Structure 1
């Protein structure tokens, strides 16, 4: 490999994102994700200030209000109460449950607030379009929390692709290993376990994986528009999979009639045991189990005795897919295969292989291995990641997402956003069409 042929950027200077303006943000939804994103205001108070919080659960909203020193008149149980006031912030973070994104997003756009919306944007194709239309009509910025676009390792992959290092990208293989205990927590017992209560798992868990694939197949835009990238058109989609394991038919006979893990005779050897996941790993996910009071060990035990997180993984009301594959063909003949799998030891450490005409890239979540077909060289890239942050999830992508959005608002520059309205809408449509293919058992012409 000719080392001079590729311009590989170094770690960015954080000071370039300090421009003297402090963006004011309202947080609607004070659960886990809302709280994580809001930490940017603590780590970078010269860039972001939380000026209002909203959540129907008193404990959560008051806990966050105390953390950010908010007065009582800036603490809300219903987002409609904020809409009825004069605009008092630059932007709003919508981190409500997935099925409750549409109405507040549209209302805040109509009020002139810039929007940061947790993924997925909405749970139906129509609602996604309505939110995008509202943002455009009101000339407000919309960023969706497709955090994978913002991770240093994925941006390095994108940089290497755009440099021409591996020639034309012909095929991508991408795996999301959800993690056996994470899937049991979120998609068997938790908030995303039931389609009627939330949505299908490809959307709620992996919409940002298909978005990332969409991103990797894009090329730098040359039209000077609001998006940095132009995208290939997907021509065909097929998908297979479903709920194949977490049901009563697969319940071990030795478990007998036990409906809860605390009373199960084989809880100590079941990989999906709530006793092991929440008590041995305590305090893992304790705020999710006990959202309305202090999540002490005693309160966690009570939640396992009485709540959904203590139910046997084979006795829950879950109905979402526990494994699914998606195949994509684009208009130039290039292809992609994506796998979402519950049954993995690693949790959400994506594996990506990108095959080009001159070389290939393989990413294991921390390093990128480059193999050059022309000269037989091999090189390993390890992108630098910010270390002094509590926002370290997804390879610190949570931090970089917030940095991008806050800077975009402060500069009134939507090109700073990597996951804008049009990009997001297209990748969401890929997800909806993939699920349609799975349900109809047919190839969908996109």
Structure 2
């Protein structure tokens, strides 16, 4: 087995905690030869875990990619708005790329990245890790094999989880679309991708509604303060108390480990006192929606209703797919799938494997597949290639455009043509 050599750009939660455990468990499959990370503590932690020397450490992606070609592929795990430039530079320098989702917060950059990867003959794979989980692969198999006939309609719910939403999208890195991406892209591009994959047809029309309904100053309780530590009179009863949430045992609450590096109690308290994670959830600079629905119509006649909500007790995805010969319902968290076939009138229960590893095993799955694709020279038509991912990204961008235009229907054919024409004219 050829050992694939990798470089990592961005050694945060995704670049280090999500993908490096696979490399550490299977050293014959992959070897990390360099890392680029501006944060000194993260860079040092990464180097120690992956046994890198000082000469293999870089403070920026520009510094790393200015060197003679170091390896086979690059993992790019930076923030949303920092994907385009290192991806283009890596592709032009001859690297294959595994890129964290979303591709970009700019639709024209997404189109351009896919075009350049195709022109360079490089594998650009997007981290739509859900496709690699046993649950979603079984759902795809059921629909692909025709067990419920032709797909007619889908109802897909994304339960974000009230504490996850507050952590990531009220206080965290994805709280403001000027700093990252709209919610439909930052969080729900997984769902757009799964819907497109299962329907297996191009989307023709999109409309969307949603807003930031709760987490703003107008809903701040009487007696609340700018920070949870400023003498807030309702802190002890608030479900979003930073003191109670982030000072929990990090083994029980993995989000608590993400607010400080390293996540000692002293460092976490300092982060609560001084950083964004100690802010009152009603007094931050957040602007992304806390609930959104998207209506979609596809070329094959299928219709889809997608709903994302931040006010749920758990983090889960629940789906119901209705076909001409049957119906299938699934609950990702439990791994349970219920299949009902009209002809026999029978119901069967399929229990898929669940996993405590990242994204129900999806993080491991995409690393395994990416390395396999590189060893086998499979650079096009891969499961989560940029070509496969681009369409679902455009669906998300169209949904956000519709939402901002009070639910106006977006014609996807015209939307695609407008983007492609702009990109081509700018590339000349």
Would you call these one fold, judging by a TM-score over 0.5? yes
Preserved CA contact (<8 Å) 2:381 2:387: no
Describe the SS at the equivalent of 1:395: helix
**Counterpart in the other structure of 1:27:** 8
Task: State the distance in 1 between where 2:381 and 2:237 align.
Answer: 49
8 Å CA contact 2:37, 2:43 repeated in 1 = yes
User: Do the aligned partners of 1:28 and 1:54 also contact (CA within 8 Å) in 2?
Assistant: yes
**TM-score, structure 2 length as denominator?**
0.92
CA distance in 1, matches of 2:54, 2:118: 33
CA contact (8 A) 2:247 2:256 kept: no
Which of the numbers 393, 397, 405 marks the counterpart of 2:358?
A: 393
Task: Give the Cα separation in 1 of the matches to 2:182 and 2:278.
Answer: 22
Matched, 1:190 2:172: yes
Give me the whole-angstrom Cα distance separating, in 1, the residues matched to 2:75 and 2:257.
20
Q: What aligned pairs does 1:282-297 form with structure 2 within 5 A after superposition?
A: 282=250, 284-291=254-261, 294-297=262-265
Residue 88 of structure 1 aligns to a residue whose secondary structure is coil
Aligned mates of 1:55, 1:417 — CA distance in 2: 28
Structure 1 residue 290 displacement after superposition: 1.3
1:360 aligns with 2:327: yes
State whether structure 2 residue 387 is matched by structure 1 residue 405.
no
In the TM superposition, what are the counterparts of 1:264-413 in structure 2 within 5 Å?
Answer: 264-280=232-248, 282=250, 284-291=254-261, 294-347=262-315, 349-365=316-332, 366-384=335-353, 392-413=357-378
Partner of 2:421: none
Q: What is the CA RMSD across the aligned residues, in angstroms?
A: 1.3
Shift of the alpha carbon at 1:445?
1.2
Following TM superposition, by how much is the alpha carbon of 1:240 offset from its aligned partner in structure 2, in angstroms?
Answer: 0.1
Normalising by structure 1, we get a TM-score of 0.89
Unaligned runs of 5+ in 2: 413-428
Cα 1:332–1:266 change in 2 (3 A) is same
The answer to whether the 8 Å contact 1:27/1:38 transfers is: no
Cα deviation 1:52-77 (Å, max 9, x = unaligned)? 11111000011101111111111011
Residue 332 of structure 1: how far off its partner (Å): 2.7
Question: Residue 5 of structure 1 aligns with which residue?
Answer: none
How far did residue 233 of structure 1 move? Answer: 2.0
1:237 is aligned to 2:206: yes
The residue aligned with 1:8 is none
User: 1: CA distance between counterparts of 2:381 and 2:109?
Assistant: 25
Q: Return closer, same or farther for 1:422/1:383 CA change in 2, 3 Å cut-off.
A: same
Partner Cα separation in structure 2 for residue 25 and residue 404 of structure 1: 14
Residues 151-204 of structure 1, C-alpha deviation per residue, up to 9 Å, x if partnerless? 111001111111111000100111110000000000000000011111211110
Query: Which structure 1 segments of 5+ residues have no match?
Result: 1-19, 219-231
Q: Look up the match of 1:53.
A: 35
Check conservation: 1:239, 1:326, Cα contact below 8 A.
yes
- Compute the displacement of 1:383 (Å): 2.4
- The alpha-carbon deviation at position 384 of structure 1 amounts to 3.5
CA distance in structure 1 between the aligned counterparts of 2:390 and 2:184, rounded to whole angstroms: 15
1:206, distance to aligned residue in structure 2 (A): 0.5
